[in-house]
Amino acid sequence: MGCAQGSQSKPATPKSAQTGSSGKSSKVQEMRLLEEYSVGQTLGEGAFGVVSNCRKRSTGEEFAVKMVDKVETPVDAIKKEAEMMQAMDHPNIVKVHGVFYERCFVCIVMDKFSGGDLVEGLQRHLKERGQILCQDVVHVARQMGASIQYLHLRNTVHRDIKGDNYLMDRKDMTDPKCRIVLTDFGTACTARPEERLSAGVGTKIFWAPEFFDRDYGAKVDVWAMGIIMYGLVSGRFPFRDENDIRTKEVKVPKRVHPVCEEFIKRMLDKVEKSRPSSDLVMTHQWVQETGGRHDPFNQTSTDEAVTGHDLREEVVNDGVKERRQELIHRLNREHQIKDSTQRGGRRAPGASGHYLHKTFVLNDKQIPGMKLTYEWWDGAKAKSTGLLEPEGRVKPASHFEAGQEGNDLKMFSRMLEEHNIDVTQFGRGQAKKLEGLAAEVLFGAARLMLDATSHKKL
């Protein structure tokens, strides 16, 4: 497992900085993420990659770093997202402080928000305090609308507006001072007001009817905001699939204020031309003024209990999580070794000493608490043991022909097939038999490696 791409890491800088006459800009371009920031615990994961806590070394300020995996997302697309985010300047859109191009990740440093996303906030409220009163999230609706309006004024369509992509500065979204910001611009694109788009991107449960027709405009963001608002006041999605989205009538819980109900239904108008623009959303009575936090329309609820657990669609594969964490570990390890060299050979705390000592100890990744001791050998000693000669350490293929060994061969064959390898080609003509390869892998004469630039490629 590893990355084939070996380019040096450079932060993206504005054109003005790149063309400056001083030597400062060239120095900035050569900086790597871990030279400016220390990376801490993981804050969250999604289809895009990993978000971790980070601290600026020079000031101690805390930020978040979004580490987008180059294997899972084309580099050009990541660069486009990073540049688009850097160009944004709005209180309800996350602020980017720097972009770094590492071997395996593009790292986007941004403001850190400790409240989690809107889905987490809703689930927390439902668990601890029950249903959210619609008057208690007017400020949330206003900020969502403002972020979308800002994008549309800049001829930008987000195309993946959802609760997961709005972060909060505190855990209680009903706090009137709660600030939310829109993040994750991986699907965003520029489009003129009358331009029609066709790409099927984003999260389908938030798609407007015209999205399924692959003929849509900026109002798909307004529809998605309507889905979020419905979820906040009801704890569930209004629709389950394309048929629902196209045909099902929107029914808002009776306890919801009638002005709020009309606000949500207008955003979820199935006829695109009748749906309000983001400008009209911001002029709606519900976000302009409200009956107050203690309006009698919103004091009781006869709705069934809900948890909000079905409001998050994406689940990250455990194997993908493990691979990402391994790559982050390597990134940190490389910096620690480099830093120790720059300090005159003194190893930084926690840094690997693999090539600095004859022997070294590593934790066993498979057995908790187990430590493995390794020793460096020169070529002569390694050759004298016979370990470099496959004949001297590989048992014959017949070792796999019966009993438990037969089961091992079946598992080995199934693993190859899962990685799109045709096992029927083994043993044909001059090709080695499958049993022979399995024996070599089992006893260390051969090694299977994953190509990190392709999905499931051995």
Q: What pLDDT score does 20 carry?
A: 34
The CATH architecture that domain 11-112 belongs to is: 2-Layer Sandwich (3.30)
Torsion of CA 123, 125, 126, 128, to 10 degrees: 120
What is the pTM for the complete model shown? 0.65
Tell me the average pLDDT across 289-298: 49
Tell me the average pLDDT across 306-312: 57
Tell me the average pLDDT across 220-231: 98
Which has more pLDDT, 383 or 55?
55
- 386: burial class by Cβ within 10 Å (0-12, 13-18, 19+)? exposed
Cβ-proximal residues to 189 (8 Å cutoff; 6+ apart), any chain? 156, 157, 159, 197, 199
Binning pLDDT at 50, 70 and 90, where does residue 308 land? low
Tell me the average pLDDT across 363-383: 71
List the single range of 10-24, 244-258, 387-401 with lowest mean pLDDT: 10-24
Residue 212 CA: distances (Å) to CA of 177, 200, 316: 37, 8, 25
Do 200 and 159 touch, CB atoms closer than 8 A? Answer: no
Torsion of CA 3, 85, 212, 267, to 10 degrees: 150
- Indicate whether 357 pLDDT > 80: no
Do 164 and 312 touch, CB atoms closer than 8 A? Answer: yes
Binning pLDDT at 50, 70 and 90, where does residue 83 land? very high
Tell me the average pLDDT across 36-50: 83
- Indicate whether 7 pLDDT > 50: no
Q: Is 66 annotated as a binding residue?
A: yes
Q: What pLDDT score does 126 carry?
A: 95
- HSE, side-chain direction, 13 A CA sphere, residue 368: 0
Binning pLDDT at 50, 70 and 90, where does residue 232 land? very high
| CA Rg value for the chain | 27
- Mean pLDDT for all residues in the chain: 80
CATH 3.30.200.20 residue ranges of the chain are 11-112
CATH 1.10.510.10 residue ranges of the chain are 118-311
Q: What pLDDT score does 339 carry?
A: 57
- Indicate whether 396 pLDDT > 60: no
Compute the residue count for the chain: 458
Binning pLDDT at 50, 70 and 90, where does residue 247 land? very high
Residue 228 CA: distances (Å) to CA of 39, 135, 179, 292, 388: 32, 15, 16, 21, 61
Q: What pLDDT score does 324 carry?
A: 57
- Indicate whether 136 pLDDT > 90: yes
Tell me the average pLDDT across 246-272: 97
The CATH architecture that domain 118-311 belongs to is: Orthogonal Bundle (1.10)
Q: What's the rounded Cα separation, in Å, for the pair 141 and 138?
A: 5
Q: What pLDDT score does 344 carry?
A: 55
Q: What pLDDT score does 338 carry?
A: 57
